[in-house]
Amino acid sequence: MTRQTLKAFEQELLARSQPINTLDLQLESLYNFAEDLGYELANGGGYYKIEGFKNLNASLEALKFVSFDDMKYWHNNPFNRYPFREEMSPAAAARYKLVDKVKIQRTKQGLKVQNHYVKLVTSDGKSYRKSLLAQVCPTLTPDQLEQLSGNPRLYID
């Protein structure tokens, strides 16, 4: 019986050393973000077969159809300046992210996860706002971050 327990323990340790497949989690984060910007899958794409995203109500003609890579870039860099209307704010859509960065590559064979290790967005809104503020304004002191993160409208507008 001891050998079985030891064997089960070794298998458990081996399983824990392997990364968890985070493809679905990363895709869900990307889709939540895109949906808040008003985008849906384009060209009849499926959950795992993404051709790009479409938003026929986008303010600029160039924003009506967006590639997978562009949407991934917006997701991973929501605080860059983009030529969007206020209704299409990546900074506001960032509140729907599940992971901080999406690390997926689209290949001819399908989707390939570049890295399964992801940083989850915390469920505590104040902590998440504080981390976003720290990214955007790295010179803020901890006291300033604490004061500013108490205002939920700060990063939504």
Looking at per-residue confidence, does 31 or 94 come out higher?
Answer: 31
The answer, as to whether pTM is greater than 0.85, is no
106 token code pair? 């689209």
Residue recorded with tokens 């390939």: 112
**pLDDT at residue 145 greater than cutoff 70:** no
- Is pLDDT at 153 greater than 60 in this prediction? no
Query: Can you give the residue ranges of every domain in the chain?
Result: 2-121
Tell which residue, 96, 71, 102, has the closest CA to residue 84.
Answer: 71
**11-25 tens-digit pLDDT:** 777 777 777 788 888
pLDDT digits (tens, 9 = 90+) for 38-97: 899 887 667 778 888 999 888 788 889 999 999 999 999 887 877 676 667 787 788 888
Cα-only R_g, the chain: 19
CB-CB contact of 118 with 125 (8 Å): no
Query: Cα dihedral sign for 34, 35, 39, 42?
Result: positive
pLDDT at 76: 92
What is the structure's pLDDT at 65? 92
* Residue-averaged pLDDT of the chain: 79
Task: Report the DSSP beta bridge partners of residue 40.
Answer: 54
